[in-house]
Structure 1
């Protein structure tokens, strides 16, 4: 059986670090062992979602900053999933969090950018093909306990392929998270000048993250599950890189094929 490959600590695969959220009280916290366990337990359709979110959080935890901004995280994960041919969209929401003897509503007057460049509200990544949404940045809020299990939230979309209009409460045991959807015209409130200006950097970070995670998905203990997923491009990537060696350095994450040529995921049809 092939040896399990840990995510490589490649700075090029990480997101651009944003300004710290004024409410932040925790730093990102997750171990590579927890990420591996989550991936092993995931269903085929959820596996790539868990992989990119988990490895992104692990990279973040290695840097030891405060837990990341929701907009930066969602953009990086959005572009990572796009490398696998999995479409997603970022949606702004109002977030209510209760825990650690505190109860706060973020973006209660409607999600918007503050004058200091911080985002008032929250964002989630909606993945219609998987019927799920991802929230990998809850640890930025002081109400969320600083534990590994609190870092990554993946839930079923209330309406199958959309977040819908109904309030979604999720009791996580030691804290409560309530998502309040906003009118359609407010769901793109996250598209501020900072997000637009640094889009190319988020795209690059997402591409490197996707390559890092694919390196894990093609290992023996995850390969069959990956090929059982409903994502044709992900299948093609795994098959095209059979026997290829991974290369990770300051120039990004790529693969050296048997003939010596180096390719990135975007180079593979």
Structure 2
């Protein structure tokens, strides 16, 4: 049927889209508890932290920034592969770290949300998923690092609601080192939440079956992450003064200067690498 052109001139078929809507950022997908995934982001807030953090923790924040970017939009429950790859990467760069089993509670006022991990030994199931939780004790930096705290439902929902800081990794300075860490709970605040950690290194060997299955993948991913982290540190040196780093960390200084070299990343990853979820593929 022919359109009445006179009426068409009088009443346009479509109204123009408001300019404000054209400029608005795309709407974030909501939090789906049945298919929990980290929010998608174009750039990680850890990059900003890398630009302003104390010089002595730049290497740690550089590695975490790479990991956080890689986790964008990925499924949750990846603490074990990510912690072990971070430990491997930082080891290649000359730093002392330790993967630890941990139990974490997220508290909001009088409400104690569902915890992460278990008190006591975790269980590694036949499909290599686990009910446990891992963190990284970065002894060289005096920090307890939880790169995947955003997998907690309460923080994940807040991150999907636009509170980006709740989706970021958490690094807690621990005065007194490992001895203080093992003396009792260590806490951190991300308003309106308080996160309390109980480190349980005596139960870390519960993850040995997982590590036996994916050890080659951890080595491969960790080496790749080390290379990218080194490049990230060098790039950070273009925007801030990092001349102190070689004096603080001789191994890192030698790598940055080209006096020492890391192993080259093999062209073909091990077979176990392909069996890990996308969340575990931190660096390729």
Settle same-fold status: TM greater than 0.5: yes
The alignment status of 1:122 with 2:133, answered yes or no, reads: yes
Structure 2 unaligned runs (5+)?
1-32, 270-284
Change (3 A) 1:232 1:217: same
Change (3 A) 1:26 1:158: farther
Higher relative contact order (CA 8 A, sep 6+): 1
Aligned residue in 2 for 1:203: 219
State the SS of the aligned residue for 1:39. Answer: helix
- Separation in 1, partners of 2:87, 2:44: 24
Larger Rg: 2
Q: CA deviation at 1:223?
A: 6.3
The alignment status of 1:156 with 2:173, answered yes or no, reads: yes
- Separation in 1, partners of 2:169, 2:190: 11
Structure with more helix by fraction: 2
Q: CA deviation at 1:77?
A: 0.4
Change (3 A) 1:210 1:114: closer
Matches within 5 A, 1:88-99: 88-98=97-107
Kept in 2, the 8 Å contact 1:98–1:176? The answer is yes
Aligned structure 1 segments of 4 or more residues deviating by more than 4 angstroms: 28-31, 99-102, 247-252
The alignment status of 1:78 with 2:87, answered yes or no, reads: yes
State the SS of the aligned residue for 1:67. Answer: coil
Aligned residue in 1 for 2:190: 172
Q: TM-score, normalised on structure 2? A: 0.68
Q: CA deviation at 1:36?
A: 2.2
Give RMSD over aligned pairs.
Answer: 3.1
- Separation in 1, partners of 2:151, 2:243: 32
- Separation in 2, partners of 1:225, 1:35: 21
Kept in 1, the 8 Å contact 2:246–2:252? The answer is no
Q: TM-score, normalised on structure 1? A: 0.72
- Separation in 1, partners of 2:35, 2:142: 30
Q: CA deviation at 1:200?
A: 1.3
Q: CA deviation at 1:131?
A: 1.0
Change (3 A) 1:159 1:26: farther
The alignment status of 1:224 with 2:242, answered yes or no, reads: yes
- Separation in 2, partners of 1:32, 1:180: 31
Aligned residue in 2 for 1:142: 153
Residues 65-116 of structure 1: per-residue CA shift (max 9 Å, x gap) = 2135111110010011011110100111111123597611334442412435
Q: CA deviation at 1:193?
A: 1.5
- Separation in 2, partners of 1:112, 1:104: 16
State the SS of the aligned residue for 1:191. Answer: helix
Kept in 2, the 8 Å contact 1:55–1:213? The answer is yes
Structure with more strand by fraction: 1
Q: CA deviation at 1:212?
A: 1.1
Out of 23, 33, 46, the position equivalent to 1:35 is: 46
- Separation in 2, partners of 1:236, 1:78: 20
Structure 1 unaligned runs (5+)?
1-21, 253-269
Aligned residue in 1 for 2:255: 237
Residues 15-38 of structure 1: per-residue CA shift (max 9 Å, x gap) = xxxxxxx99734155543523211
Return 50-59 or 29-38, whichever deviates more. Answer: 29-38
